[in-house]
Structure formats: C-alpha cells, structure tokens
Amino acid sequence: MNKVVIYNFLSFFVLVAVQVVLLKNLNFYNLNIPYLYILFIILLPFKTPKWLLFLLSFFIGLSIDIFSNTLGLHAAACTIIAFLRILYIGVTVQSERRENETTPNLSTMKFRWFFFYSLLLTFTHHFFLYLFEVFDITMAFNLFGKALLTSIFTLFLIFVSELLFYKKIR
C-alpha cells in the first residue's frame, strides 16, 4: 500500500516536470503539443477512492495550469476524464477483477482494452481542453480534427513510456 502511494507521488512530480520543461517545447507541423501528463490519471490504481481520484486529477491539471498561464483549463479537462474513467471502468471491468488487479496498465490488461481506454481518455481530454481554450461551442467541429491528430501523438508517447518504464514494474 505504502509503496503504491510513494510510487504515484513520484510519478506525479516526474510527469509534471516532463510536461512543463520538455514537452512544452515540442511541436511538429504547427500541431499542438502532446500532453503526456494525463498518463498519471490513466494509471492510478483501481482501488483509488473516488474523491481522491477527482482531487488528484484536479491538482495535476491545476499544476500544469500554473506553469502555462491557463488557470482552470487543464483542471477542467482532467476532471472530465476522471469522471469518464470511473464510468468506463465501471462498465467494462468486473468488480472482482477490480479487487485483484492493482492498476490498469498494459501488462495487467489486454492490449485492446488498454488501447481503447487510453484513446478515449486522451481524445476527450484534448477535445475539451481546446474547447475551453477558445470558449466557443461553434468551433467544436473544427477542433475535432485537431484534437484527434494531437491525441495520436500523445497516445504514441503513452505507449512508448508504457513499454519503457511500466512493463518491468508490475
């Protein structure tokens, strides 16, 4: 239990640091930058209490906001995907499985399940992030393609870091 807490505590800081120092400067062909930090929300253990899940998602979003002058923007998008995570896991994973497995990652879950799970969360996060940024509902259709392209980029980074760092841990 204690190990899990320390591990997630560290990954919070590492992911925020990577996002605000490194990924902030990345951009290809005028695409938006990838937001790898949502990996933290994706990989939180199954047993995380709901209030803690929302609190952590809100705070990781807020920390990114403080570093990028967009107060509340990332926090709102992160809160939405925290809610979506609860719904998606509630529908697709049996409750006994939720008791046994520790965390939803590539080594414990099937590849297809994890792919759709991370795709759904990433795309929703990006889409709502851009929507709150322009704050104009008529732009929603235009943002769809932009969000999809950037999600592919983020997903690629999520899978690379999954294969590099998380496979060994278990």
Partner 1 sequence: MNNLWRFINKYSALFLFIIFFTLSISLIIRNNNFQRVSTLNTSNEWVGKFYTQVNNITKYIALDAVNKQLVAENVQLRNRLKSSFFDDNVVVNTVDDTLNRIQYQYVSAEVINKSVNARNNYITINRGSKHGIKKGMGVICPKGVVGIVWNVSPDFASIQSLLHEDSKITSSVENTPYFGPLIWDGENPQIATLADIPNQINLKKGTRISTSGLSVTFPKGISVGKVIKAGVKGGGSFLDISVQLSTDFYALQYVYIIKNIFAVEQQNLENLNKKSINE
Contact residues for partner 1, defined by CB under 8 A: 21, 24, 27, 30, 32-33, 50-51, 54-55, 57-58, 61-62, 65-73, 75-76, 79-80, 82-83, 86-87, 132-135
Q: Which is nearer to partner 1, 2 or 69 (CB)?
A: 69
Could you tell me the smallest distance in angstroms from the CB atom of residue 121 to partner 1?
15
Helices 73-92 and 111-134: crossing angle in degrees, nearest 10, is: 150
Could you tell me the smallest distance in angstroms from the CB atom of residue 109 to partner 1?
21
Distances (CA, A) of 165 to 81, 161, 162, 168: 23, 6, 6, 7
Could you tell me the smallest distance in angstroms from the CB atom of residue 169 to partner 1?
28
Specify whether the CB–CB gap between 33 and 23 falls below 8 A: yes
- For tokens 């560290």, name the residue: 10
How many Cα atoms sit within 13 Å of 9 on the Cβ side? 6
Could you tell me the smallest distance in angstroms from the CB atom of residue 168 to partner 1?
29
Report residue 148 CA to chain centroid gap. Answer: 15
Q: Which is nearer to partner 1, 2 or 138 (CB)?
A: 138
Q: DSSP 3-state helix, strand, coil percentages of the chain (rounded to 5)?
A: 80, 0, 20
Token representation of residue 144: 């769809």
Q: Which is nearer to partner 1, 51 or 111 (CB)?
A: 51
Could you tell me the smallest distance in angstroms from the CB atom of residue 166 to partner 1?
26
Q: Which is nearer to partner 1, 38 or 106 (CB)?
A: 38
Q: Which is nearer to partner 1, 30 or 100 (CB)?
A: 30
